[in-house]
């Protein structure tokens, strides 16, 4: 379990394809405190540490994960939002994040809004019911607040967020471009509310 508060930006050092894809990511985390088998959210995807050095850790990624997230687009030099797993008793600064990506969205527009950046994203049709104004969404592992939802009759549903300067500096959103794809995880509470509603209607 995670909170969606990014604590490091790593970089893909290498990718080796065997049965799965072995990916090594640089980090400023104290890797001596990272156990083998520990979970780290990598741009929103919960991955298991299988190897480490003083300045990096490695994970194995299945073909399924590559196919349903943006990890299949990673290459050497790709910057990665990183968050270590939440420990009981730690501050919950964002919202509860599982690290299980629900779908892939796309950056549609980026506008300057004061010192912040207003970013607009598309959302897959199967996730649009979970997007709500002032609700939470996880984009590339970061917990963010939805400012606006735009339901289009002739196109995909869109939603807007604002990225403050601090977040631009401490995450990969500072270099995100229009047309970039992103990992999306819907709010876990929205998921359960939807399921309760569906059961009640059976």
For residues 126 and 169, membership in a common domain is answered with yes
For residues 119 and 195, membership in a common domain is answered with yes
Q: 122, 104 in Cβ contact below 8 A? A: no
Whether the model clears a pTM of 0.85, i.e. scores above it, the answer is yes
pLDDT confidence band for 111 (50 / 70 / 90): very high
* Number of domains present in the structure of the chain: 2
3 found inside a domain: no
Q: 39, 55 in Cβ contact below 8 A? A: no
For residues 110 and 195, membership in a common domain is answered with yes
What is the C-alpha to C-alpha distance for residues 42 and 26, in angstroms, rounded to an integer? 11
Locus of tokens 């480490």: 52
DSSP letters spanning 70-130: GGGG--TT-EEEEEEPPPTTS---S--B-S---EEEEEEEEEEETTEEEEEEEE-GGGGGG
Q: 102, 129 in Cβ contact below 8 A? A: no
Give the pLDDT score at 199.
67
Give the pLDDT score at 13.
98
30 found inside a domain: yes
1 found inside a domain: no
How far is Cα of residue 21 from the mean position of the Cα atoms in its chain? 19
Print the domain residue range for 130: 103-200
CATH code of the domain containing 115: 2.40.30.20
For residues 168 and 115, membership in a common domain is answered with yes
What is the C-alpha to C-alpha distance for residues 119 and 115, in angstroms, rounded to an integer? 13
List, for residues 2-49, the tens digit of each pLDDT value: 999 999 999 999 999 988 999 999 999 999 999 999 999 999 999 999
pLDDT confidence band for 202 (50 / 70 / 90): low
91 found inside a domain: no
Q: Which of 19-28, 94-103, 116-125, 166-175 has the lowest mean pLDDT?
A: 94-103
Residues 6+ apart with CB under 8 A from 112: 118
Q: Residue 8: beta bridge partners?
A: 82
Average pLDDT, the chain: 93
List, for residues 131-181, the tens digit of each pLDDT value: 999 999 999 999 999 999 999 999 999 999 999 999 999 999 999 999 999
How many degrees, rounded to 5, is the angle at CA 113 between CA 111 and CA 115? 115
110 found inside a domain: yes
96 found inside a domain: no
State the CB neighbour count (10 A cutoff) for residue 197: 10
């Amino acid at each position: 379990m995670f909170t969606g508060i990014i604590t490091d930006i790593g970089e893909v050092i290498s990718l080796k394809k065997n049965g799965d894809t072995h990916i090594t990511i640089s980090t400023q985390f104290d890797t001596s405190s990272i156990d083998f088998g520990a979970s780290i959210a990598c741009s929103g995807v919960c991955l298991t540490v299988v190897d480490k050095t003083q300045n990096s850790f490695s994970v194995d990624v299945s073909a399924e994960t590559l196919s349903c997230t943006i990890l299949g687009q990673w290459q050497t030099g790709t910057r990665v939002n990183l968050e270590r797993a939440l420990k009981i008793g730690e501050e919950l600064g964002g919202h509860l994040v599982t690290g299980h990506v629900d779908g892939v969205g796309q950056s549609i527009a980026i506008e300057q809004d004061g010192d912040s950046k207003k970013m607009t994203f598309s959302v897959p049709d199967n996730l649009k019911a979970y997007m709500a104004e002032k609700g939470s969404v996880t984009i590339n592992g970061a917990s963010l607040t939805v400012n606006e939802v735009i339901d289009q009759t002739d196109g995909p549903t869109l939603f807007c967020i604002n990225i403050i300067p601090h977040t631009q500096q401490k995450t990969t959103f500072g270099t995100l471009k229009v047309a970039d794809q992103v990992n999306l995880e819907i709010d876990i509470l929205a998921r359960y509310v939807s399921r309760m509603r569906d059961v009640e209607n059976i």
